[in-house]
Copies of this chain bind each other. A is one copy, B any other.
């Protein structure tokens, strides 16, 4: 394997998470540990590939120096500290000029290592850049590092960022269940959770079951078609058992005909990728219960705090996020390129993983959903096996540095 010497660049892309900065910290730590053998300088691109094209860089080697304090604060800061973007690279054949511009920037800054922290769309960028480099005389190593609260990346056992979002949901659901338990008046509470196509986050709302806590009466994932009649019948049965019924539902549940249940509740607007912008399944179900059953009912959308509630991050997630960032640097320095780093689970109990890698092209544009065998037959709960998979990912609490009652965030 040839030694490649030059600078490195790292970027963050896609939706924020509570752990994406821990991965950035891992990359910084990896470069520091390389001691200049392969990598001289680490640049951060602001707003992902968009900032790269604008040459909007921050010299992270200078910014962090050897400051363990700054790295620690970075790890407790939610959302992409370098900024993010939603830009996806076009097919190389479709816009060769754009790729030429990218290569020109790489040359100008002597960038030989490219680290991109992101989800599905970002791995598409990694794969396309890798493809293009094969046809170019510019030598550069390109590594994708997974990041998603949705846990929908294939191959990897789980993705950095998911554990923290899952923990936030598991903890908040326990608190909501306590809150809902105080009155004797029959009432239904519907909690809408993130996860467009994969129900992993919604499944995490059931984790109290394994820890001696409580769990929602029903959990509806997007992996199974949503039958409104069955939903109302489920709720009616539960109301006969106890007055406070709590339901967790994924924003992405669909009717058997494929339409999103939440679609009726909003404008049908789409994001830049043409994904339907989802919101409102909670409100739709709230209205359904009010009309059909007539009891007290409310809906709650946990919304953004699910992905940025870093004060309740999973210590396991942050530790792994740093580790995978460091591993990416080591792997690239040893010659790896075109790959996404992965977690491979070796054991549930004791929980043990190792870090691996897989061609980014095998990741892009595919979705990992909850195995149907991990959902009960009626499609309104997850199985113990599903919870056992999830539980190690939320273990451990972080102790953020606070200043006068508020966690300190690092601004780059």
Residues of A within 8 A of B (CB): 12, 16, 47, 50, 77-80, 83-86, 167, 170-172, 174-176, 178-179, 181-184, 207-208, 210-213, 300-305, 307-312, 314, 391, 394-397, 402-409
Residues of B within 8 A of A402 (CB): 397
Interface pairs (16), CB distance under 8 Å: A16-B178, A47-B182, A79-B175, A80-B182, A83-B183, A171-B311, A176-B305, A179-B304, A211-B403, A213-B403, A301-B303, A312-B312, A391-B404, A391-B405, A394-B406, A395-B404
B405 touches A179 (CB 8 A): no
Complexed CA–CA distance, A96 and B305 (Å):
50
A406 touches B213 (CB 8 A): yes
A311 touches B184 (CB 8 A): no
A184 touches B406 (CB 8 A): no
Distance in Å from the Cβ of A407 to the closest Cβ of chain B?
Answer: 6
Residues of B within 8 A of A79 (CB): 175, 178-179, 181-182
Main secondary structure, interface of A, reads mixed
Complexed CA–CA distance, A309 and B391 (Å):
21
A311 touches B175 (CB 8 A): yes
Q: Are A183 and B86 also in contact (CB < 8 A) when A175-B311, A305-B305, A309-B175 are?
A: yes
B304 touches A300 (CB 8 A): yes
Residues of B within 8 A of A396 (CB): 405
Residues of B within 8 A of A12 (CB): 182
Residues of B within 8 A of A409 (CB): 174, 178, 213
Complexed CA–CA distance, A66 and B409 (Å):
42
Distance in Å from the Cβ of A301 to the closest Cβ of chain B?
Answer: 7
Interface centre among A12, A212, A314 (most CB of B within 10 A): A212
B406 touches A207 (CB 8 A): yes
Complexed CA–CA distance, A395 and B300 (Å):
28
Complexed CA–CA distance, A171 and B406 (Å):
6
A308 touches B178 (CB 8 A): yes
Supplied contacts A84-B183, A171-B311, A176-B308, 19 more A-B pairs, CB within 8 Å: A16-B178, A47-B183, A79-B179, A83-B181, A83-B183, A85-B184, A174-B406, A174-B407, A176-B304, A179-B304, A207-B406, A211-B406, A213-B403, A301-B303, A312-B312, A391-B404, A391-B405, A394-B405, A397-B405
